């Protein structure tokens, strides 16, 4: 497995693989890798001859009051996680390699970014789309893998790829969870023992919603207030949002009469956690 930090080195390797007729799967990450990331690598490995993992804590997607400086980083541990999964190349650039001093071009997807995390984190998806476009152009993959954990991100990237004609297949991968249901996340490492116990309330609220839906409940207001009540019982938790939106448009829905994404963001202590589930209308 190669570990490279320069764009030129990635291009050199990618060119050789393409000349040999090999397909490339890309897994973009911010590092501090866990089994969620590894499940993306496993899918990439299955579908492609070569797998590239990028590790880059992208300053552009963090707001001024967010956790850019404290975001967990451990490249040595990440190398082992990638090696285990048979990754061929890690691209771990510096911010200076990605953004030259005169950098001044952006990719901004409208509409889908108005709601949910787009509304709560202004500029976040512009940063995501810009860096993912750059990573696509640097690594020229056949397929790129994203987690359903970041459901809005997946939807936004799919729209960007359609709109800008990137010749790349975008593959969404299921959410990987801890045994108690908490979605795996690099940010879980911020949680104290008590916060970690409290953090299960996100998943519990999803389970509650699914139980209500299984019993026939279709009113979003009713399900929403039950989820809210459950989370508010946790003194360490503070809801940022719980939203039910149409799976394609990400516009709010009031009844479950179409495919619906329920997405939530909850602060547990100072740590902002997200989770979601999809209701499929039959
Ligand atoms: P991040 O390093 O948090 O930016 O995540 C990199 C990629 O891994 C994104 O496509 C995420 O959606 C995906 N990912 C993160 N956590 C999980 C998880 N628990 N299950 C599945 N995919 C995940």
pLDDT tens digits for range 214-264 = 999 999 999 999 999 999 999 999 999 999 999 999 999 999 999 999 999
Whether 74 is in a domain gets the answer yes
Model confidence, pTM: 0.98
> CA–CA distance from 38 to each of 42, 43, 151, 225, 273 (Å)?
6, 9, 18, 35, 20
Domain count across the chain? 2
What pLDDT is attached to residue 109? Answer: 98
Whether 79 is in a domain gets the answer yes
pLDDT, tens digit, for every residue of 94-129? Answer: 999 999 999 999 999 999 999 999 999 999 999 999
Given a cut of 90, is residue 84 above it in pLDDT? yes
Q: In a mutational test of the pocket of ligand 1, which residue from 33, 149, 189 has the highest number of ligand atoms less than 8 Å from its CB?
A: 149
Whether 181 is in a domain gets the answer no
Whether 8 is in a domain gets the answer yes
Residue 224 among the catalytic residues: no
pLDDT, tens digit, for every residue of 189-220? Answer: 999 999 999 999 999 999 999 999 999 999 99
Whether 235 is in a domain gets the answer yes
Instruction: Indicate the average pLDDT of the chain.
Output: 98
Band (pLDDT 50/70/90 cuts) for residue 67 is very high
Separation CA 206–CA 202 (nearest Å): 6
Indicate which residue of 12, 34, 37, 224 is catalytic: 37
What pLDDT is attached to residue 136? Answer: 99
Separation CA 56–CA 121 (nearest Å): 19
Q: Is the four-CA dihedral 127, 241, 214, 251 of positive or negative sign?
A: negative
Whether 32 is in a domain gets the answer yes
pLDDT, tens digit, for every residue of 26-38? Answer: 999 999 999 999 9
Whether 178 is in a domain gets the answer no
Q: Quote the tokens at residue 48.
A: 């492609």
Do 109 and 246 belong to one domain?
no
Q: Whose CA is closest to atom 7 on ligand 1?
A: 29
Q: Whose CA is closest to atom 18 on ligand 1?
A: 36
Given a cut of 90, is residue 282 above it in pLDDT? no
Q: Whose CA is closest to atom 13 on ligand 1?
A: 147
Residues spanned by the domain of 32: 2-173
Q: How far is the CA of 195 from the centre of ligand 1 (A)?
A: 21
Do 80 and 104 belong to one domain?
yes
Do 125 and 262 belong to one domain?
no
- Domain CATH code at residue 253: 3.30.1300.10
Q: What are phi and psi of 19, to 5 degrees?
A: -60, -35
E strand residue ranges, 49-157: 50-55, 89-91, 143-147
Do 213 and 126 belong to one domain?
no
Q: How far is the CA of 54 from the centre of ligand 1 (A)?
A: 12
Residue 87: CB partners within 8 Å, gap ≥ 6?
A: 1, 27, 41, 45, 51, 52, 53
- Domain CATH code at residue 167: 3.40.50.620
| Strands of the sheet with 2-4, listed across from one edge | 2-4, 89-91, 50-55, 24-29, 143-147, 169-173
Ligand 1 site residues (CB inside 6 A) read: 29-30, 36-37, 39-40, 146-147, 149-150, 173, 175-176, 183-186
Q: Quote the tokens at residue 187.
A: 């940010």
């Amino acid at each position: 497995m190669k570990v490279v930090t320069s764009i030129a080195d990635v291009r050199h390797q990618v060119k050789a693989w393409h000349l040999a007729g090999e397909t490339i799967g890309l897994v973009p990450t911010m590092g501090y890798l866990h089994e969620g990331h590894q499940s993306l690598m496993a899918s990439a490995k299955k579908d492609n001859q070569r797998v590239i993992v990028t590790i880059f804590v992208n300053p552009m997607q963090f707001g001024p009051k967010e956790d850019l400086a404290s975001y967990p980083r451990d490249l040595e541990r990440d190398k082992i996680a990638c090696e285990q999964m048979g990754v061929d190349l890690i691209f771990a650039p510096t911010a200076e390699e990605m953004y030259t001093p005169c950098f001044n071009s952006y990719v901004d997807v409208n509409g889908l970014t108005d709601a949910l995390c787009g509304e709560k984190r202004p500029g976040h998806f512009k940063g995501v789309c810009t860096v993912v476009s750059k990573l696509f152009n640097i690594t020229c993959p056949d397929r790129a893998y994203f987690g359903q954990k970041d459901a809005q991100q997946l939807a936004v990237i799919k729209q960007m790829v359609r709109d800008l004609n990137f010749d790349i297949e975008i593959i969404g991968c299921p959410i990987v969870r801890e045994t108690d249901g908490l979605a795996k996340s690099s940010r879980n490492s911020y949680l104290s023992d008590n916060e970690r116990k409290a953090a299960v309330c996100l998943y519990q609220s999803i389970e509650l919603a699914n139980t209500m839906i299984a019993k026939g409940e279709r009113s979003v207001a009713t399900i929403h207030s039950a989820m809210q009540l459950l989370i508010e019982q946790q003194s360490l938790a503070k809801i940022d949002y719980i939203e039910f939106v149409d799976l394609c448009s990400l516009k709010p829905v009031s009844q479950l009469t179409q495919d619906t994404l329920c997405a939530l963001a909850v602060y547990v202590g100072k740590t902002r956690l997200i989770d979601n589930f999809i209701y499929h209308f039959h």
